[in-house]
Amino acid sequence: MNISQVMALLIFVVMFILIITEVVERYQATLLAAFATIIVVFLLCMHSTKIVWDVISIRDLVHGEFWYAPGHGTAENGGINWATIIFLAGMMVMVEAMARSGFFRFICLALAKLVHYKPTRLLVIFMLMSAALSMFIDSITVVLFLASVTVELTNLLGMDPIPMIIAEIFCSNLGGAATMCGDPPNIIIGTELGYSFGDFLVNTGVISLAALVLAVLFFYFSLRKQLVVHNTAPGEAGHIEYPDPKSAIKDRKGFFRSWTIFAIAVLLLVTHSQTGLTVATIGVLIAAITLVFAENQAMKLLKTIDYRTLLFFVGLFVVVGGLEQTGLLSVIAGVIAKLSGGNIYLTVAIILWISAICSGFVDNIPFAATMVPIIESLSASLGIPLSTLAWTLSIGTDFGGNATPIGASANVVGISIAAKNGHLISWSKYCRYAIPATIITVATGMVMIYLIHC
Amino acid sequence: MSEKKKQLIISISREYGAGGHLIAQILAEKLGLELVDADSIARYFADNHNFNYDEVMKYSGKPFNRIIHRTIQGHTSTLEENLSRMQFDYLREKAANGDSFVIVGRCSETVLEDYDCMIAFFILADEEDKVKRVMEREGLNEYDARHTARAGTWNHKSYHNYYCKGKWGDSRLYDVCINSSRFGPEKTADILENYINEYLNS
């Protein structure tokens, strides 16, 4: 390893330690590390201002292909992935407007009413809804609302909400794996490697669907005996006053507007390889439509954009750019290639299980961002189709995040909501269900990748 | 017509085994104030917020492993932190309601720092006295008691320093720092009561 590789690695490790220990906020950790990468790695070790400009990638924004790419999606050239950042910002605006209108709470309550508040049906319908919504909306928002409604309803029914919340978290992460916009690692993989929404849907989508079926069966059979109503004797269910779904709607006009904009967003995403609109353009369009129709709420919506998360991404991409530009990731790819001996089955197994295990304990976003150049390098050196490795990485990072309370953002939010309502989900309570279910789903993913792609 | 009592909040921070809890109990009794401690808070959460008393006691006021912890948009995966923040809110709410009470620990000297009616004490003690008290209170041998006292003090410190900018035990955070070994807990409580009375009469 040369000095620039050592420095890039050192900065990356320090950044990771700062993120894990939360000594500073994670966006501060990545920005500090990005600054150090630019000064120490690019300027002092590599003496190259050109690399700085390449990694910052601001030029991408003025390329027509960044916004409109008919045919297939365009691949980013490393460095800051502005498409991911712009898309996430756009979706944040839309999701905030939807949340304010009562959209999510309405869906939760309406579906609960549809299954007549029967515990096992409630479990299944909430698991399915969690997965379906997370295909298009960030899992944090989905779990935030779903867990709150679950606590509310289970309190009325006198049930323990903890198993249901764990199941919902689990399915939210499975749903996120199904599409390009469901989970940040997928957005990074898709935009970096030039895959479309449709590509994800027919590859990771199919695997996620199979995993979802198994997860529903797993949780159903594990929990059905626990889902007992204590508040009512048989036949007295009518005495409980359930919240009316309509009461969730805070702003009728905004509610219907939210449905319409959400439908447009889904349509634009599903058809983006046909229309040629990139995810960056879709992000801008969705935010623009939301803001125009939000009238006097527009400024408030803009203020709710989570700039810290966006800055986190900016810093992260620069640091990963440092690892890539110094050739360190090619070295790591070489080690994986050597370990697998060029065997496609072994390569897939290594990437899948390493991604899954790492994602169970560390933030899967920096992990995925780091792994993308590695799988590119592996694909080139071993002749394994890049798409096979891309789907493997996506399934590994997304499904693996389910294993522990800290594996994914949705897990943290679900546990926090439960705790604030008096239901403490300890590591042992969480892992009792999540680890077996994660092993089942990751193994399913491996078998399906073998059958379909190897 | 009885004159409305001036609001008074006594915050007691302490080293493990220094007799801080006993001093808090004596002060609460002498001043006729409610004693708010881990036990009473756990009971409040169990009675009013669906919590399990034992679980609250298990996770309250404890430091946690920073490696297996994650925070996302203000939400945290750690039960200790979730409970601690809820307890801080409970204390703020109580203080805002105008309640007078003696509070043991819970970073109260910082959480309630905006209240002029709050008097903060820090109770320390000589090592041997702490060990002796832990041996008597917890029925331990000297070796285990010494270990428990040190670990307990480390826990108080880590817990406090995670949530507060000011460092635990830093005299600038408290009105009075006092060594209970000098006169024993009862006499120490008398001294602190005199201090409180001076404040009330001022």
d(CA A394, CA A208): 11
Q: Do B72 and A421 touch (CB under 8 A)?
A: no
Contacts of B50 in chain A (CB under 8 A): 155, 421-423
Dmax (CA) for chain B in angstroms is: 58
Q: Are A401 and A411 in contact (CB under 8 A)?
A: yes
Q: Do A412 and B71 touch (CB under 8 A)?
A: yes
Q: Is the pLDDT of residue A234 over 60?
A: no
pLDDT of residue A233: 47
d(CA A255, CA A261): 10
pLDDT of residue B4: 59
Q: Do A412 and B72 touch (CB under 8 A)?
A: yes
| Mean pLDDT on A57-85 | 80
Instruction: List B12's β-bridge partners, or say none.
Output: B104, B121
Q: What is the pLDDT of residues B160-202, one digit of tens each?
A: 999 999 999 999 999 999 999 999 999 999 999 999 999 988 8
- Nearest by CB: B72 against A21, A140, A422: A140
Q: Is the pLDDT of residue A249 over 80?
A: yes
Contacts of A412 in chain B (CB under 8 A): 70-72, 75-77
Q: Is the pLDDT of residue B112 over 50?
A: yes
d(CA A172, CA A215): 11
Nearest Cα to Cα of residue B11 among B91, B127, B130: B91
Contacts of B161 in chain A (CB under 8 A): none
Place domain B9-201 in its CATH homologous superfamily: P-loop containing nucleotide triphosphate hydrolases (3.40.50.300)
Mean pLDDT of chain A: 91
pLDDT of residue A231: 63
pLDDT band at A402 (very low <50, low <70, confident <90, very high): very high
Contacts of B162 in chain A (CB under 8 A): none
Q: Is the pLDDT of residue A142 over 50?
A: yes
- Nearest by CB: B77 against A20, A415, A421: A415
Contacts of A415 in chain B (CB under 8 A): 75, 77, 79, 82
Backbone CA torsion sign across B79, B85, B88, B92 = negative
Q: Is the pLDDT of residue B156 over 90?
A: yes
| Mean pLDDT on A37-50 | 94
Decide if A304 touches B, using CB distance below 8 A: no
d(CA A407, CA B68): 10
pLDDT band at B1 (very low <50, low <70, confident <90, very high): very low
pLDDT band at A77 (very low <50, low <70, confident <90, very high): low
Distance from CA of A422 to the nearest CA of B (A): 4
pLDDT of residue A71: 64
A280's CB contacts (< 8 A; 6+ apart) are A66, A67, A82, A83, A86, A87
- Nearest by CB: B66 against A21, A363, A417: A21
So where are chain B's domains?
9-201
Q: Is the pLDDT of residue B2 over 60?
A: no
> Minimal Cα distance from A406: which residue of B?
B70
Q: Are A90 and A104 in contact (CB under 8 A)?
A: no
| Mean pLDDT on A81-85 | 91
Distance from CA of B4 to the nearest CA of A (A): 35
Distance from CA of A273 to the nearest CA of B (A): 33
d(CA A416, CA B83): 10
Contacts of A155 in chain B (CB under 8 A): 50
> Minimal Cα distance from A161: which residue of B?
B50
Contacts of A416 in chain B (CB under 8 A): 75-77, 82
A-B C-beta contacts closer than 8 Å: 68
